[in-house]
Homo-oligomer: A and B are copies of this chain.
Amino acid sequence: MSGDLVNLANQLLKQQTFSVLLDAEVVHAEIGKIAIALPQRQDFLQNHGFIHGGVLSYLADNAMTFAGGSIFGPDVLTVEYKINYLRPATESRLVATAEVIQSGKNLAICQCKITSSEGSDDVLLAIAQGTIMKTQ
């Protein structure tokens, strides 16, 4: 069941040319909670050799949109969000996990955590909070 949702979400993700460019993959999906991963890549960096904030932002935005979509269906868009970067991260696989904290008729308020896998431990890289809207 959860596997079906993962497949469904990945089909949607494959329709996003930007997500295909970045090799994103939905790795967890349940109603109200979605996780999206990015592989380790050398072209995700900024000038100090750390993962670019834009990569983390993409992940936060997309994971929260999909979390909203797990409740409202695919016709959703991100109204806004805010992200705090907690520490620089060197090249590694990334996972953004977004949860719907509260949803009403048209809006879902979400929070998101982004972690990297360094050795055996997950390291928290960024936290985000945002608003998803049902468009139809």
* Chain B residue nearest in CB terms to A110: B84
Instruction: Provide the bound-state CA to CA distance between A102 and B127, in Å.
Output: 10
Q: Which of B47, B57, B102 contacts A57 (CB 8 A)?
A: B57
How many residues of A are counted as interface, with CB atoms below 8 angstroms from the partner's CB atoms?
53
Say whether chain A's binding surface is mostly helix, strand, loop, or mixed: mixed
Instruction: Judge whether B129 and A127 touch: CB under 8 Å.
Output: yes
Closest 5 A-B residue pairs measured CB to CB? Answer: A54-B58, A57-B57, A82-B82, A18-B52, A15-B47
Tell me which residues across on chain B come within 8 A of A74, comparing CB atoms: 47
Q: A109-B127, A129-B127 are in contact. Are A16 and B52 (CB under 8 A)?
A: yes
Tell me which residues across on chain B come within 8 A of A62, comparing CB atoms: 52-54
